[in-house]
Amino acid sequence: MNPRLVFWVPAALRTAIILAGCATLGWMFGWVQGLVLALLAMMVMVFVQLSYLYQLSNWMDDPQSAKLPDGWGAWTNIFSRLYRMRRDDEKNQAELTEWLARFRQAMHLLPDGVVIMDDVLFLEWCNPAAEKHLGLTHERDKGMRVTNLVRSPDFMDYIILGRYEQPLTISFRERKLIVHIIPFENRRQILVTHDATESERIEEMRRDFIANASHELRTPLTVIVGFLEIAASEGLDAATRSAHLKLMTEQGHRMQHLIEDMLTLSRLESVDYPMRPERVDVAQLMEQVLRDARALSAGKHEITMAVNGPDIMGSYEELHSAFGNLASNAVRYTPAGGKIQLVWKEYEGGVKFMVEDTGIGISPEHISRLTERFYRVDKSRSRETQGTGLGLAIVKHVLLRHGSTLQIKSEAGKGSSFLVCLPKTAIVQKQPELLLN
């Protein structure tokens, strides 16, 4: 139905009824009395309208505290519609507040920094990641020019040139940041920052790993190819040929060990190769590590073992690799006649495996880097001892998978101590014995 008819028809009917009533009274009691009554009725109607207008004005001044009346006549529909509008507005306001809270929460959880600026680069808002990346504080720096807060010549040039199609990489506050400015609306811009420090570090590690692996493989390959070329071009006597074959075999074994260690390290780092815990017979494990160490030593060292601790849950193969690497390093870097001790024992915080030697020791500046791939304190000695440079990296990843830690104590010329600490949760609990009557 037409809204105009809905409003005007009831109003006209009410007016007609009032006038008809006044006319009836005027016909019964006289026209003067009828006109006076009609005037009074119109004044009452005007007063009611003014009263509703006054209440509406009060409500518009303070919609929260003022209350809308029920109304009479057309005002009933007006107040009802205003009430519905207010209810819908409150609902929309609540939804908007909820969405704004979600947006702010999302912005706070973003790993990338977000800075909202006006057209002249004055800061309006920033999230915690931007505060961390750029050293900003929202409460303190709001309303300040971003170029005065981010002191970087490259960033200033990026702003001045205004070429925002491509992001900019800058070094700022000991971080490698990728920054990108995105214009939006008419008078605002968004500055997005991404911390690429860790990605850069991983990429550098990857380059170093490839370079080191290539170098380690190239050396034995060069020896093997060189001997093969000599054998192909010259007639060698049996003794020389035998010596060359022995050296080529050694270099081939070196490449084989290097590739095996690289594959082991790759497997330990892979998420597709989860550890399957099993009960590890520590006595058997320690005996095997001792046999391997004595075989490598060939009787040149005094190697002893002490086992005084419980079995644990873990991977026998991985723990043998880790413990074996520590023991073999002790053999390689301890001069003939030196002593090496292998210890397994329980302590208050769990259980620990310890390798102590009287070897050449390690200077303090090298200790923090020993578990890096291909890191060697003395490269020439490592090649003499047939080390791949990956042993302690393998140890580190095995211990990470077992929730364990590695502590290294060493002093140049006085020997070293490598301590593996496993938590109490790794210990196999003894089952209570059943007493049979």
CA distance 171 to 190: 20
Is residue 383 over pLDDT 60? no
Contact between 287 and 320 (Cβ < 8 Å): no
pLDDT: which is higher, 387 or 373: 373
pLDDT on residue 81: 78
- What token pair was written down for 345? 């024992």
Contacts of 382 (CB under 8 A, 6+ apart): 376, 389
| DSSP structure string for 194-219 | EE-HHHHHHHHHHHHHHHHHHHHHHH
User: Residue 427 gets which letter from DSSP?
Assistant: B
Bridge partners of 304, per DSSP, are 341
What Cα–Cα distance (Å) separates residue 118 from each residue in 121, 147, 188, 278, 294? 5, 12, 4, 61, 73
pLDDT: which is higher, 210 or 351: 351
pLDDT on residue 256: 82
| DSSP structure string for 72-131 | STHHHHHHHHHHHHHHHHHHHHHHHHHHHHHHHHHHHH-SSEEEEEETT-BEEEE-HHHH
CA distance 4 to 10: 10
Taking only the tens place, the pLDDT of each residue in 241-271 is 788 788 888 888 878 888 888 888 888 877 6
Unique residue bearing structure tokens 């590695």: 406
What confidence category does residue 437 fall into, taking pLDDT thresholds of 50, 70 and 90?
A: very low
What confidence category does residue 10 fall into, taking pLDDT thresholds of 50, 70 and 90?
A: low
Rank 41-55, 227-241, 287-301 by mean pLDDT and report only the highest. Answer: 287-301
Taking only the tens place, the pLDDT of each residue in 42-78 is 787 777 777 877 777 777 777 766 666 776 666 777 7
pLDDT on residue 434: 47
Q: Using the CB atoms, write b or e for 324-340: b if 16+ within 10 Å.
A: bbbbbbbbbbbeeebeb
Backbone angles phi, psi at 305, to 5 degrees: -140, 145
Lowest mean pLDDT among 44-58, 65-79, 171-185, 337-351: 65-79
pTM value?
A: 0.56
Bridge partners of 303, per DSSP, are 340
What confidence category does residue 436 fall into, taking pLDDT thresholds of 50, 70 and 90?
A: very low
User: Residue 179 gets which letter from DSSP?
Assistant: E
Contacts of 367 (CB under 8 A, 6+ apart): 408, 410
